[in-house]
Amino acid sequence: MELLILLYALPIFYFLFMIWKGVDARRDQECYILDYQLFKPTDDRMLDTEFCGNLIKRTKNLGLVEYKFLLKAIVSSGIGEQTYAPRIIFDGREDNPTMLDGITEMEEFFYDCVGKLLARKSISPSEIDVLVVNVSMLSSVPSLAARIINHYKMRDDIKVYNLSGMGCSASLISVDIVRNIFKSNKNLYALVVTSESLSPNWYSGNERSMILANCLFRSGGCAILLTNKRALKHKTMLKLNCLVRTHHGARDESYGCCIQKEDEQGRLGFHLSKNLPKSATRAFVDNLREISPKILPMSELLRFLIASLVRKMSQTSSKVGGATKPVINFKTGVDHFCIHTGGKAVIDGIGLSLELSEYDLEPARMTLHRFGNTSASSLWYVLGYMEAKKRLKRGDRVLMISFGAGFKCNSCVWEVMKDLGDANVWKDCIEGYPPVSLANPFMEKYGWINQEDPSTFKIPE
- Gap between the Cα atoms of 56 and 62, Å rounded: 8
| CB burial string 302-325: b at 16+ within 10 A, e below | ebbeebeeeeeeeeeeeeeeeeee
Helices 378-388, 358-371: crossing angle, 10 deg rounding: 120
- Gap between the Cα atoms of 456 and 166, Å rounded: 45
Beta bridge partners of 401: 339, 411
HSE-up of 201 (CA within 13 Å, CB side)? 27
Tell me what pLDDT residue 374 has: 95
Tell me what pLDDT residue 401 has: 96
Catalytic residue numbers read 168, 247, 336, 340, 369, 373
Q: What Å distances lie between residue 145 and 2, 40, 127, CA to CA? A: 63, 21, 16
- Is the whole model's pTM more than 0.85, yes or no? yes
- Gap between the Cα atoms of 307 and 283, Å rounded: 24
Mean pLDDT by 10 residues, the chain (461 residues): 65 62 63 97 90 82 81 85 92 90 94 96 96 94 95 96 92 96 95 95 86 89 96 95 95 90 87 88 93 93 86 68 74 95 90 93 96 95 97 96 93 96 92 86 78 70 59
Tell me what pLDDT residue 69 has: 83
Provide the 10 A C-beta neighbour count for residue 252.
10
- Gap between the Cα atoms of 178 and 400, Å rounded: 17
Q: What Å distances lie between residue 282 and 248, 290, 306, 437, CA to CA? A: 9, 13, 24, 33
As a whole number of Å, the end-to-end CA separation of the chain is 103
Among the listed residues 323, 240, 288, the one whose alpha carbon sits nearest the alpha carbon of residue 401:
288
Tell me what pLDDT residue 81 has: 87
102 contacts 200 by C-beta, under 8 angstroms: yes
